[in-house]
Structure 1
Amino acid sequence: MNTRSTFSASLERDRFDRFAALLARQLDGDLLLSAEGYPSLTESLVGVHPIAELIISATTTPAQIKDFCFNTPDPALGYISYTYGMLLRGVASDKATDFPLGHLKKYAAIAEYADGQATITASDTDLLNRMTALLTGPLDHAAPGPVTGLPDTPPRLSLDQAGYEAGVRETLERILSGHTYQLNLSTRFSWHCPDLDPLALFLALRHDHPAPFYAWLTSGPLRVLSTSPERFLRVEDGHVLSQPIKGTLAFADYSPELNAHLTKSHKESAELSMIVDLIRNDISANCTYDSVRVEHHKSIFQVDNLLQMYADVHGELREDRDCLDLLFDAFPGGSVTGCPKQSSMRIIEELEPHDRGVYCGSIVVIRDTRNMDSSIAIRTATHDTETHTLNVYAGSGIVVDSKPASEYQETLAKADKFLGLGEQ
């Protein structure tokens, strides 16, 4: 891209969110919106008017993705699906998928927010002026409003309670047989919503249930509504940070004693420790010798009515590697596969009747060879504007002492903000 013009202003995050809502509604903007108070806080970013797009298929190579991301200095925003990760790991699937295996875009204009500062950068002066007018004008009317077309019937489940608990029991057998020692099993909730306004739903969820990796992305007739709390990999001037989440405690009324209850749980602690070891191994090949270290192990944050346990895994990217080398060697994230990764993914493919698609893949912002950020696309929904299907996914980590009924209840807790839609 050639010369770009820039406008900057200091403002509150809520005002930027309302500005972003207008860009999505009026200019079909793609959104990545972060939130304060979370360990994986990131820069919010809005892309407007795509000028280049890469739709990833089964024949797209990592080298082609690199070429798209690095051939100009403009940031790329989009998603890479779990299904593409299966190809990278050599896990075959014959399940139909409605989504491309990934979709990355570069834009005529980018709006970003970090540290109380909003910046708009555009190659088109008229577009910059239009966005600046929206940012500096009245934004009260952009506050989240009522969501129309919400489902009024229970969802269809790809694995209902009986099916999910049977899947947990089969996973326990596989653990005892030595084929896996932790596995993430998911189910899919589906509704037919012919009158749903998916953007209104996304903005209402963002307002009522903040998290650090909210993403609204358009991909043909498909919409991604990701409300993820989990960072996969961040690379900042070569410094690598992964923040895997494992260990969950749902609550109705919070009290400080619940934190100790979570950290002292042998089962939840084992889940986190296994995945931290996997992440350390996954990033080590692309990091300098002896730079990989773990900090803040078994830290806790709250999102929705859940306590989540996490750790910080650091490293330094080798000079002869770039951020996409790191991403693809570690993809998909270990917290949504299990250990060992490839064999766990094969079992997941066998036990789950649905294709995950973008769920458990990653939302990514790739800036250059040594700077990117990415989420684990959990707490994520998709909406098909042609079939009017809303799909929501949730899962849990299975280890040797997991209880089938408890794991099913954990999936319901993680999907709770979506499952209550029809009650609003």
Structure 2
Amino acid sequence: MTITQLQTYAKNYPAVPITLQFQLPSFNPIAITQAFDQPDKPCFLLTGKPKKTEDGYSFIGVNPLKSLTYRNGQLTMSDQMGKKTTEAVALKPVLEKILAENKTPRIPSLPPFLGGLAGYFSYDYAKYATTAHLPAVADPMALNDADLLLVDEVIAYNHATQMVTLSKIVPSAQLTNLYQSVLTHLTQLKQAVLAVSARKPLPSFSMTPLRLQFSLQEFDEKVEQTKQHIIDGDIFQLILSNPQQAKMHGSLFAAAPTLFNESPSPYQFYFRHNDFETIGASPETLITKRDQTLFTYPLAGTRRRGHDQAEDDQFAAELQHSPKELSEHNMLIDLGRNDLGAVSQFGSVQVTAYRKLLRFANVMHMGSVVESTVSDHVSAIDIVNAVLPAGTLSGAPKISAMQLIGQLENRKRGVYGGCLGYLGFDGDLDLCIGIRLAYRQGDQLVVHSGAGIVADSIAKYEYQEFNNKASAVVNALKETAKGGIVDALSN
């Protein structure tokens, strides 16, 4: 955009994006991320196969201005020089202040993310969004409740138009003084992007065998307890998870080429901050905001993929006609409608797609779409607080299910069941649900998945379900540890 166009926007907004665009027929998000990554700095990559409603994008955050981690009511902020401050404070007003101070215009001709807050809110962050009592749980890995980067410089790539957009957010009051120097910087950044010809050698990665937290017998007992709560009328459904754990050395980034290639998903991500890393290929949106429209996409009901077309079709028919799966899916659509209703204009919540069969690399799901028009004066954090965690990762009623999950699992879930993505300075946001992922803190590696328990659940089948869900991530990690890496993204 020209400085004249930006000066018009600058009259009404505290910040504006200076951008530079150019065509690039081939864009390897992993190679580009490597080229600009600094191992001692945070890293954010969000890419993936596009949703049907919009072009596919890759977003890479470059040299974040600040990082914000939140744990047990304590906020730690760190700047680019490594200076840290820690205080006991509510997170919501801090994030709202950052977003307001850096608010930019929404420019439809540009990518949906040019700068903002990027990172994750954990499943456990929900305790700050409700006045209901949630039980305290064990936290053996000292996991953060939220981990966000303040990103003012982004490399964005539209995979449909093959357009690279380099952006830098600047204060409106300094636009005239900074415009030329920022444009020079973005031109240098462009040359650096064009100079990336191939992926560098990947970091090392090794791991010990994964071990499930609960054996089949222990899981069976927890399923029976859950079903008794259903019989007693405490809940209708609950997502019971069973994390797998191992020791690891190296970096999860080494598994990115294999996982991204073998698990095409709307959201493929890599996030690193301090000694925490997560990598995943999530099929499910928690919440997307585009201008005034909110979207959520409940996925519920699962079958593994068949070994051939006949078996695949058989499993699809079973899934689409199973009373258990249909009732579970309908229940979670209702939860999605209720969640959006809390932050939407009255009467605007609608189900716009219903029980569509969606096939992924290792499993298939039924998916629906719920849309609404956001209410006036609702902030991005209000929206997160209304919808996190998704009903597909907690159960129904949500609060009762979460209270029971705390008792049954007695362990922080971290990014699993939370959300990862961005809150843009322009007011838009896109957050996927933290599933089909691995994360590590220090040398402790976790692959986390779960299954929906209803009144007629059979424990051994639910046990197999979360193993099916985790298989793509587990296989990618094992393949990487053996050195058998496939990187079709570099072709």
TM-score, with length taken from structure 1:
0.91
Structure 1 pair 19–369 and aligned structure 2 pair: CA distance change class (3 A): closer
1:71 aligned residue: 101
CA distance in 2 between counterparts of 1:410 and 1:207 reads 22
Q: CA deviation at 1:168?
A: 1.4
CA distance in 2 between counterparts of 1:42 and 1:359 reads 24
Q: CA deviation at 1:63?
A: 2.1
CA distance in 2 between counterparts of 1:253 and 1:382 reads 29
- Write out the 4+ residue segments of structure 1 that deviate beyond 4 Å after TM superposition: 1-5, 25-28, 37-42, 123-127
**2:150 maps to amino acid:** K
Q: Contact between 1:159 and 1:352, CA under 8 Å: does it hold in 2?
A: no
1:393 and 2:448 are equivalent in the alignment? yes
Structure 1 pair 209–376 and aligned structure 2 pair: CA distance change class (3 A): same
Q: Percent identity?
A: 23
Secondary structure, in 3 states, of the residue corresponding to 1:140? coil
CA distance in 2 between counterparts of 1:120 and 1:377 reads 27
TM-score, with length taken from structure 2:
0.79
Q: CA deviation at 1:214?
A: 1.6
Alignment of 1:195-344 (within 5 A): 196-255=250-309, 256-344=313-401
Unaligned stretches of 5+ in structure 2?
1-13, 74-89, 104-114, 170-181, 483-491
1:372 aligned residue: 429
CA distance in 2 between counterparts of 1:293 and 1:381 reads 33
CA distance in 2 between counterparts of 1:183 and 1:225 reads 25
1:134 aligned residue: 192
Q: Contact between 1:184 and 1:338, CA under 8 Å: does it hold in 2?
A: yes
What is the CA deviation profile of residues 282-313 of structure 1, one whole-angstrom value per residue up to 9, with x for unaligned ones?
Answer: 11121112111102211122222211111000
Structure 1 pair 5–281 and aligned structure 2 pair: CA distance change class (3 A): closer
Q: Give the counterpart of 1:359 among 416, 432, 452.
A: 416
Q: Give the counterpart of 1:121 among 152, 156, 167.
A: 167
Alignment of 1:147-166 (within 5 A): 148-151=204-207, 153-166=208-221
Which stretch of structure 1 is more off in the superposition, 360-369 or 13-22?
Answer: 13-22
Q: Give the counterpart of 2:63 among 49, 58, 76.
A: 49
Structure 1 pair 36–13 and aligned structure 2 pair: CA distance change class (3 A): farther
CA distance in 2 between counterparts of 1:270 and 1:40 reads 30
**2:125 maps to amino acid:** Y
CA distance in 2 between counterparts of 1:3 and 1:173 reads 56
Secondary structure, in 3 states, of the residue corresponding to 1:50? coil
Which stretch of structure 1 is more off in the superposition, 2-11 or 108-117?
Answer: 2-11
Q: Contact between 1:19 and 1:134, CA under 8 Å: does it hold in 2?
A: no
Secondary structure, in 3 states, of the residue corresponding to 2:332? helix
Q: Contact between 1:359 and 1:378, CA under 8 Å: does it hold in 2?
A: yes
2:145 aligned residue: 101
Q: CA deviation at 1:367?
A: 1.3
Q: CA deviation at 1:43?
A: 3.4
Structure 1 pair 199–272 and aligned structure 2 pair: CA distance change class (3 A): same
Q: Contact between 2:453 and 2:462, CA under 8 Å: does it hold in 1?
A: yes
1:33 aligned residue: 47
CA distance in 2 between counterparts of 1:57 and 1:147 reads 29
**1:93 maps to amino acid:** A
**1:180 maps to amino acid:** I
Q: CA deviation at 1:222?
A: 0.7
Q: Contact between 1:15 and 1:139, CA under 8 Å: does it hold in 2?
A: no
CA distance in 2 between counterparts of 1:40 and 1:183 reads 32
Q: Contact between 1:38 and 1:212, CA under 8 Å: does it hold in 2?
A: no
Q: Contact between 2:118 and 2:150, CA under 8 Å: does it hold in 1?
A: yes
Q: Contact between 1:184 and 1:397, CA under 8 Å: does it hold in 2?
A: yes
**2:214 maps to amino acid:** L
Aligned residues: 418
CA distance in 2 between counterparts of 1:254 and 1:106 reads 46
Q: Contact between 1:186 and 1:352, CA under 8 Å: does it hold in 2?
A: yes
Q: Contact between 1:54 and 1:103, CA under 8 Å: does it hold in 2?
A: yes
What is the CA deviation profile of residues 341-377 of structure 1, one whole-angstrom value per residue up to 9, with x for unaligned ones?
Answer: 1110011001114310111111131114741111110
Q: Contact between 1:38 and 1:211, CA under 8 Å: does it hold in 2?
A: no
Secondary structure, in 3 states, of the residue corresponding to 2:385? helix
Secondary structure, in 3 states, of the residue corresponding to 1:307? strand
Q: Contact between 2:301 and 2:326, CA under 8 Å: does it hold in 1?
A: yes
Q: CA deviation at 1:162?
A: 2.0
1:6 aligned residue: 19
CA distance in 2 between counterparts of 1:248 and 1:92 reads 29
Q: CA deviation at 1:105?
A: 1.4
Q: For the aligned residues, what is the CA RMSD? A: 2.5
Which stretch of structure 1 is more off in the superposition, 310-319 or 27-36?
Answer: 27-36
Structure 1 pair 240–77 and aligned structure 2 pair: CA distance change class (3 A): same
Q: CA deviation at 1:236?
A: 0.5
**1:103 maps to amino acid:** D
Which stretch of structure 1 is more off in the superposition, 55-64 or 184-193?
Answer: 55-64
Q: CA deviation at 1:184?
A: 0.4
Q: Give the counterpart of 2:473 among 412, 415, 418.
A: 418
Q: Contact between 1:47 and 1:106, CA under 8 Å: does it hold in 2?
A: no
What is the CA deviation profile of residues 116-159 of structure 1, one whole-angstrom value per residue up to 9, with x for unaligned ones?
Answer: 322111365675345322321242335xx6774332x4312222
Q: Contact between 2:339 and 2:387, CA under 8 Å: does it hold in 1?
A: yes
**2:20 maps to amino acid:** F
Structure 1 pair 354–267 and aligned structure 2 pair: CA distance change class (3 A): same
Q: Contact between 2:252 and 2:278, CA under 8 Å: does it hold in 1?
A: no
Secondary structure, in 3 states, of the residue corresponding to 2:164? strand
1:112 aligned residue: 156
1:188 aligned residue: 243
CA distance in 1 between counterparts of 2:255 and 2:273 reads 17
Higher CA-based Rg = 2
Which stretch of structure 1 is more off in the superposition, 305-314 or 316-325?
Answer: 316-325
